[in-house]
Amino acid sequence: MTTLSFLWKLTRYRKGLFLWNALAWSLIYLAPIVPGLIMKQFFDMLTGHALYSFGIGALIAFLLLSALARVGFILFGFMTDVHFRFRLGGLLRRNLLKHVLKEPGARAIPGSSGEAISTFRDDVEQVEETVSWSADALGMMLFAAVSCFILIRIDAQMTLWVFLPLIIVVTVAQLSTAMLQKYRAASREATSRVTGAISEMFSTVQSVQVAGAEDRVIGRFKRLNAQRREAMLKDQLFTASLDSVFSNAVNLGTGLILLLAAEKMRGGGFTVGDFALFVYYLTFVTQFIQNFGKFMTYFKVSEVAKDRLLALLQGADPQRLTEHHPLYLRGELPEPEEPVRTKKDRLDVLEVHGLTYRYPETGRGIEGIGLRLERGSFTVITGRVGSGKTTLVRTLLGLLPKQAGEILWNGEPVTEPSEFFVPPRSAYTPQIPRLYSDTLENNILLGIRPEGERLRRAIRSAVLEEDLERLPQGLSTVIGPRGVKLSGGQAQRTAAARMFVRDAELLVFDDLSSALDVDTEWKLWERLEEQRQGAACLVISHRKAALMRADRIIVLKQGRVDAAGRLEELLETNEELQKLWHREE
């Protein structure tokens, strides 16, 4: 997608608003034409060259009126501009966020969250700026055309001297854009790395303290800042140099005009009013040249911004970035849609054949996994640390992109696991639950409104009801960023309640019980048994409470299925399971 078509598609999102904006800014830029002509009239009146004769009072009234009209246009222009660019930025951020939330978890963003935030903030703002400046560019061009017409009629040669600097500036700007783009990309990259480091530091405070790595972390942060300073300096220096080229070219032109005008006035073919008009318009022509250069710079820089925005899409259709969707800026927000359960969603049997995923960085992962889950079954995946348990469930659920294998839901192939394995078909609790700084209730519900007793039942199944009584405001307790006000076990059970309240057909637990004491874990599995109404459970665990309950155990070793069967047989035949079992003892 070219930058021009990208910006054009965005502009079309609010055509009407853009037209109003373009009209307002055209009027703002055209407005100085009028006082220029009034001034010419005034000086020609003084020297007796005036075509029409007005009193001084009338001229002052004209000047005041034109100034007032310009103030009105500016007010209107700023209003349309703010509304227009806010919607454009909103659309871009909405489309990006929608894409990020739809991608499989492991692929959601290509870099760190800090880098993504910098793209959401700075690059979107850059694009807004460019589109908003296109209205200015239009207004400036109109002013150039009209003033040029008036000035050429007075003196064509002089007019050339006004516009000559413009041609120089445009050429210089064109020639240097490639370099500017390079410096801008480098400075944005360096800023992203600094933001990324800040977000990493905040999210790993405890690990840094435990490892005693404060000095090294700060050292790295300082190095990143030094790199950013260097990149920013180059970027700013180059931009400022380009600016000074623009303004000096214009100053040079001004000097030439003054020399030429003096000569012509002595000859008598040029009135004082003409001179006043040239000098007056020159100020605006200067602004025009500088601003037009600025617009061209913005245009080039927005190419960098566009590329960084597209990088967040990770190869998805670029058109997704500019698709037109409502933003709901006024009135009530639409209710989130609760998934409707259909007959096809019911799980009778889930089969997996030859499932493979290897992490590109380490070449480790899972290879050729097969499994079969029937309605109401309880399957445990077990194995040593690093044997591939988490990779298996994440690949099955589409949170990692499978590299080979087939997944069949009631015999039907699942083509997009990341879109398919969501409630009401499936719900998942990861090893480390993701909780938010909100109330416990909102953390469990995440926007849905369960009817009747569903929430209370989910809380009971997750063995959370006693904790609720002890929390100061029960379900309305705000649990702090990432749920820091909860214990590890409470956080895991909150995540479990979030899963249970969705009444899914397939419940996937990744080591849910790792932070639970033995009694609580027994209670949890027992209550789940009473409540789950035919849902199949896929549970990663090496704990006895889960293994003893399993209809089928799958033992993983180095990414492959080492053995599968019931506990009693495996305890006799499988060495891996024997070791895990005895370690538990």
Ligand X SMILES: Nc1ncnc2c1ncn2[C@@H]1O[C@H](COP(=O)(O)OP(=O)(O)OP(=O)(O)O)[C@@H](O)[C@H]1O
Q: Which residues bind ligand X (CB under 6 A)?
A: 359, 361-362, 364-365, 383, 385-391
The CB-of-570 to ligand X minimum distance in angstroms stands at 17
236 versus 558: smaller Cβ distance to ligand X = 558
536 versus 554: smaller Cβ distance to ligand X = 554
300 versus 394: smaller Cβ distance to ligand X = 394
The CB-of-575 to ligand X minimum distance in angstroms stands at 17
- What span, in angstroms and rounded, lies between the C-alpha atoms of 405 and 381? 18
Residues 6+ apart with CB under 8 A from 291: 133, 136, 137, 140
The CB-of-129 to ligand X minimum distance in angstroms stands at 37
- Count Cβ neighbours within 10 Å for each residue of 89-120 and write b for 16 or more, e otherwise: bbbbbebbeebbeebbeeebbeebebbbbbbb
DSSP symbol at 332: P
- What span, in angstroms and rounded, lies between the C-alpha atoms of 394 and 428? 9
Cis, peptide link before residue 424, omega less than 30° from 0? yes
The CB-of-369 to ligand X minimum distance in angstroms stands at 11
293 versus 388: smaller Cβ distance to ligand X = 388
Cβ-contact 303, 3 below 8 angstroms: yes
365 versus 398: smaller Cβ distance to ligand X = 365
The CB-of-401 to ligand X minimum distance in angstroms stands at 13
480 versus 488: smaller Cβ distance to ligand X = 488
The CB-of-353 to ligand X minimum distance in angstroms stands at 19
The CB-of-303 to ligand X minimum distance in angstroms stands at 33
308 versus 389: smaller Cβ distance to ligand X = 389
Q: Based on the number of CB atoms within 10 Å of its own CB, is 468 exposed (0-12), middle (13-18) or buried (19 or more)?
A: middle
Residues 6+ apart with CB under 8 A from 546: 380, 513, 521, 525, 539
112 versus 443: smaller Cβ distance to ligand X = 112
87 versus 389: smaller Cβ distance to ligand X = 389
Provide long-range contacts, Cβ within 8 A and 24+ apart, for 1-4.
1/306, 1/310, 1/318, 1/319, 3/299, 3/302, 3/303, 3/306
Could you count the other beta carbons within 10 Å of the beta carbon of residue 54? Answer: 15
Alpha helix stretches (DSSP H) within 326-420: 389-396, 417-420
The CB-of-543 to ligand X minimum distance in angstroms stands at 12
The CB-of-578 to ligand X minimum distance in angstroms stands at 18
Residues 6+ apart with CB under 8 A from 111: 192, 196
383 versus 433: smaller Cβ distance to ligand X = 383
Tokens of residue 118, six digits: 């910098």
- 424: closest CA among 441, 411, 439, 409? 409
The CB-of-383 to ligand X minimum distance in angstroms stands at 6
The CB-of-397 to ligand X minimum distance in angstroms stands at 13
Rg (CA), the chain: 34
386 versus 480: smaller Cβ distance to ligand X = 386
- 89: closest CA among 132, 131, 128? 128
